[in-house]
């Protein structure tokens, strides 16, 4: 099972704030010293109860944010409506890119209740100068985002709404399991059909029809706060989903680590 790739409890008891960072990807490439340095980068932890725009496009930020619990969306304000260009799960550095870009090109919106940790950019600057291996891992994590974006471009360009939805569920499930969340039957999530619509680039009404179709085909059962999937292979085949782009333990993975 996927969860075996990540010894959830041990990592989280040692590193409660950053124990999920790159779990299932290159976390095994970090040594204890580096994990400790990372954990100590977080200067403040904050719980956000209500859906909130944590950062807005154009803001200048002096700190970056790691998601500890919950879901957030990266969004752009399109001509018609807000569009979600990706989602983040616990363990993701939400906005590492704003350290290098200074200004954000998109918004960060929380969904449901989230816990985040803040890392001041001065500390990241020290990492860049003195910890080249950690710096490489930070770069790697932003490249993962880019790889996911590319998959989304393909998804929006080529899949029908029903398959897009299936693809979204497949990605969420895999990513949650890489960081020790989700379970054998599916996953819990605060996402609503309106938010799936924002990710799929269609109306909530049409998402609803797609949800109905997935349910009738027995591929995915979407409920309030919960998604259940009877058969992973059936889902991933229907969604044309190949998890390689997540750079987990598939054919593109980096078992040898970074130099």
| Contact footprint for DNA (CB under 7 A) | 80, 160-162, 192-194, 201-206, 208-212, 222, 224
Give the nearest distance from C-beta 248 to its own copies in angstroms: 12
- In the complex with its own copies, the residue whose CB is nearer, 13 or 259, is 259
Among 45, 48, 61, 128, binds its own copies (CB under 8 A): 128
Give the nearest distance from C-beta 56 to its own copies in angstroms: 12
Give the nearest distance from C-beta 128 to its own copies in angstroms: 6
Residue 220 half-sphere exposure toward CB, CA atoms < 13 A = 30
State the Cα–Cα distance between residues 252 and 245, nearest whole angstrom: 7
Q: Map the footprint of its own copies across residues 157-216, applying CB under 8 A.
A: 157-159, 200-201
Among 11, 109, 151, 236, binds its own copies (CB under 8 A): 151
Give the nearest distance from C-beta 161 to DNA in angstroms: 4
State the Cα–Cα distance between residues 219 and 171, nearest whole angstrom: 15
Nearest one of 186, 15, 124, 95 to 23, comparing CA atoms: 15
Region of residue 205 (phi > 0: left; psi between -120 and 50: alpha; otherwise: beta): alpha
State the Cα–Cα distance between residues 53 and 73, nearest whole angstrom: 9
Nearest one of 189, 175, 141, 180 to 12, comparing CA atoms: 180
Look-up of token digits 């956000």 = 48
Give the nearest distance from C-beta 201 to DNA in angstroms: 6
Among 106, 161, 182, 191, binds its own copies (CB under 8 A): 106
CA dihedral angle for residue 157, residue 159, residue 160, residue 163, rounded to 10 degrees: -140
Among 4, 13, 146, 216, binds its own copies (CB under 8 A): 146
Binding mask 56-95 for its own copies (x = CB under 8 A): --x---------------x-x-xxxx-x-xx---------
């Amino acid at each position: 099972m996927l969860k075996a790739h990540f010894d959830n409890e041990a990592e989280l008891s040692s590193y409660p704030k950053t124990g999920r960072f790159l779990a299932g990807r290159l976390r095994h490439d970090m040594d204890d010293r580096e994990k400790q340095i990372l954990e100590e980068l977080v200067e403040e932890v904050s719980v956000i109860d209500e859906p909130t725009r944590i950062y807005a496009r154009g803001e200048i930020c002096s700190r970056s944010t790691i998601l500890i619990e919950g879901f957030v969306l990266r969004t752009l304000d399109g001509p018609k409506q807000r569009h979600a260009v990706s989602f983040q799960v616990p363990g993701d550095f939400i906005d590492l890119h704003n350290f290098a870009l200074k200004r954000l090109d998109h918004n960060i919106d929380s969904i449901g209740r989230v816990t985040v940790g803040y890392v001041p950019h001065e500390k990241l600057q020290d990492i860049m100068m003195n910890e080249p291996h950690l710096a490489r891992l930070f770069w790697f994590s932003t490249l993962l985002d880019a790889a996911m974006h590319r998959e989304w471009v393909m998804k929006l360009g080529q899949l029908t709404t029903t398959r897009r939805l299936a693809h979204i569920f497949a990605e969420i499930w895999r990513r949650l399991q890489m960081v020790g969340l989700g379970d054998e039957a599916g996953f819990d999530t605060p996402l609503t059909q309106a938010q799936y619509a924002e990710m799929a680039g269609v109306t909530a009404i049409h998402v609803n029809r797609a949800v109905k179709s997935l349910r009738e085909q027995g591929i995915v059962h979407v409920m309030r706060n919960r998604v259940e999937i009877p058969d992973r292979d059936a889902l991933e085949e229907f969604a044309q989903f190949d998890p390689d782009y997540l750079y987990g333990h598939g054919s593109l993975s980096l078992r040898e680590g970074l130099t």
